[in-house]
Chain A
């Protein structure tokens, strides 16, 4: 039982490049989330998915898109990366209430 997994662990992009962050969970949770973590800002919700086939914007969705591919997988896409998107990205899943987090992706945009 791996819990929540994320790939890649590290990524460096140039401004304007695109990439997709992958997240998968094997706990059969309905809800999945994407957060970014920045120093002094805590965790801020980017997008969430209450169930397979649904996605909704969180606090800071601009510049991102998501896909809930199936119940297990929830991906985050940066279409045209900007330096302001340099951050650590965490995926989480939840049955209800408690959320379980992945190990994070450390993204640097030059």
Chain B
């Protein structure tokens, strides 16, 4: 069974400091990994998808299959980055045409002015 672990419930950093939100996964197949962001009392929004290899709002994430990690990084934190961040792993349900997302429990990022 797949599992996603985000070891930090809360991460506080000062504005302008680097940010790294950790995500580790376990999955027997070839993983597809995502980062979602949820601003206060809003819907989850897709931030990054590993196959896209893009940078959104200054965030990047690299899939490390050896360490089974997909950490989210940003060189200089901004106050507007304060939010809840969820790492998720996509896998296909066996026998069905639907893709399951398994979420980590989330990390709340607080950027201190």
Q: Which residues of A contact B (CB under 8 A)?
A: 4, 30-31, 33, 40-45, 48-51, 54, 56, 90, 92, 94, 96-104
Contact = CB atoms under 8 A, between A and B. Distances in A.
B98 A48 contact: yes
Closest 5 CB pairs of A and B: A50-B98, A42-B105, A31-B98, A101-B44, A50-B96
Interface of B: 9, 32, 34, 36, 42-46, 49, 86, 90, 93, 96-101, 103-106
19 contacts: A30-B98, A31-B97, A31-B98, A31-B99, A42-B86, A42-B103, A42-B106, A45-B101, A48-B93, A48-B98, A50-B93, A50-B97, A97-B49, A97-B90, A98-B34, A99-B99, A100-B46, A101-B44, A103-B42
Contacts of B99: 31, 94, 96-97, 99
Contacts of A4: 43
Given A43-B86, A50-B93, A104-B43, A99 B98 contact: no
A48 B100 CA distance: 9
Given A98-B49, A104-B43, A30 B93 contact: no
B10 to A, nearest CB: 11
Given A101-B44, A104-B43, A45 B100 contact: yes
B43 A41 contact: no
Given A4-B43, A94-B98, A103-B43, 17 more contacts: A30-B98, A42-B86, A42-B106, A43-B44, A43-B103, A44-B103, A49-B98, A56-B98, A90-B44, A92-B101, A94-B99, A97-B90, A99-B46, A100-B46, A101-B44, A102-B43, A103-B42
Contacts of B36: 101
